[in-house]
Amino acid sequence: MRTELTYAATLPANTSTAVLVAGREQIPGELFSLEEQEYITRQLDLKSTLVTINKFTHQLYVVATEPQRKETQTQEALRKAGNALHQRLAADKVDHVVLLDGADGESALYVAEGLILTNYSFQRYKTEKATPPGLKTVSITGAGISQTQVTELGNLLDAVCHTRDLINTPHNMQTAVMLSEQLGELLEGTGVKLEVLDLVQIQSLKMGGLLAVNQASDEAPTFNILEWKPEKPANSQPVVLVGKGVVYDTGGLSIKPTPNSMDFMKSDMSGAAAVAGTLYALAKNNIPLHVIGLIPATDNLISGKGFAPGDVITMHSGHTVEVLNTDAEGRLILADALHFAKRYNPALVIDIATLTGAAARAIGREGIAMMGTADDMLKTDLKLAGELAHERLVEFPLWDEYQEHLKSEIADLKNIGGAEAGAISAGKFLEFFTNYPWMHLDIAGTAYLLSPDSYRGKHATGSSVRLLYHFLSSQATA
């Protein structure tokens, strides 16, 4: 069940309310008696960040946050305050809370973001003892907040939750064909067009990377084309998003080294889910930007008919690739999609993928590895969007020397480099199939968490949806 985010023009009476303050001078006297104000002040002096007043018919909360050095750090502190508030609301069994900014600013938007993302829960397959979140509705009120802002945020958070649902869905409930069906259900009524290419069409396009990865499977691959084209887009050339859609990854014949490393490989389509979630948010908020999503989808299984180390495959581009590791499969299906993207004459292409363990080892779950050939202004805009969403980007280089890592003695290139700079050589492989401004986001460290992290929670996070939405919506108004 989704948490509903609504706008309230005035503060409802006798409703549990969280008042957001940065200091005692912002405590609204009309809500609290003098004794309550004195109590709140004493608690704030003791460095309490959450003070509760029991009104018996409802609860009043004072959420105190201090401004940080940077505005984006303050916004992230407010999201985390939303996470802390959620714990208190759950303990008090509050099902509807109103957020009121004591300074009539926009702090409530960020608290709501943290609160609603924390409240997410995936219980689709529970038949007993399911405990859906108790918080049903969050309302925002205050002179500094508009209905438009609340609606936009609500649609974006809904997109993140849908993205999480797609990623958390297990493989037996999400083959490539099932994923295409789920994308159709998600996008129905949004205005986003979906075209699904089947096995025969993929074969006719000679997408050798996608076909090779799919060889071991009894399930057919799909190639999904999503398009959001509003009536008067701000761009004459589209932006193309490419998402890795490996619905389950065993590593193929280069099987993953430890059994538990496969336990969460249903999440290897997180890039695909992020593309779908981003298109959903853009359409729901009617962002005037022409955006196309490309999602090659398959599983990477093990069988006697699977592709093997040493094989040479011919890609959609006509180039040949020597396969030296079948667990480096994501770059093969992305390469076909990146070459396919050329037909749109794109202004920019961004691919999103859980591509390498090397990226996760380099920067952990705290950031996203970024590399690409787009100009510095676009890179800066993307990094700023990452700061705004607190989905921060770390740029890796794409120096020419890294192409040496991919030299093959028998083909145009091989699909894996050496032990060093693994995330970069993967990006360098993708770059080979591009001839347009391009950026690569490796979300291997952020897409699926094995332990809780504040409002990102545990398991699927919906990583990069908020980042891409902020970036693309800013491009539409640039």
pLDDT above 90: residue 131? no
User: pLDDT tens digits, residue range 438-471?
Assistant: 999 999 999 999 999 999 999 999 999 999 999 9
Report the percentage of the chain scoring pLDDT > 70. 100
Residue 130 has pLDDT above 80, yes or no: no
Taking the model in full, what pTM does it have? 0.97
pLDDT above 70: residue 1? no
DSSP run (H or E) holding 209: helix 208-214
Look-up: residue for tokens 């460290």? 445
* The pLDDT value given to residue 129: 78
pLDDT interval class at 188 (50, 70, 90): very high
Cα separation of 299 and 108, whole Å? 42
Q: What integer pLDDT is reported at residue 2 of this predicted model?
A: 82
Q: Rounded mean pLDDT of the chain?
A: 96
- Whether 85 and 18 have beta carbons less than 8 Å apart is answered as yes
The torsion of the CA quartet 370, 330, 422, 346, rounded to 10 degrees, works out to: -40
Among candidate residues 449, 413, 424, 322, the one with its CA nearest the CA of residue 371: 424
Express each pLDDT in 43-95 by its tens digit: 998 888 999 999 989 999 999 988 899 999 999 999 999 999 999 999 999 99
As a whole number of angstroms, the distance between CA 319 and CA 316 comes to: 8
Question: Does residue 284 carry a pLDDT above 90?
Answer: yes
Distance CA 436, CA 455 (A): 36
Domains of the chain: residue spans and CATH: 4-144 (3.40.220.10), 157-476 (3.40.630.10)
Radius of gyration of the chain (CA): 24
Active-site amino acid positions = 256, 331
The pLDDT score that the predictor gives to residue 50 is 95
Report the amino acid identity of residue 411.
A
pLDDT (tens digit, 9 = 90+) per residue, 240-273?
A: 999 999 999 999 999 998 778 899 999 999 999 9
The two structure tokens encoding residue 210: 């996608």
Strands 96-101 and 17-21, bridge-based pairing = parallel
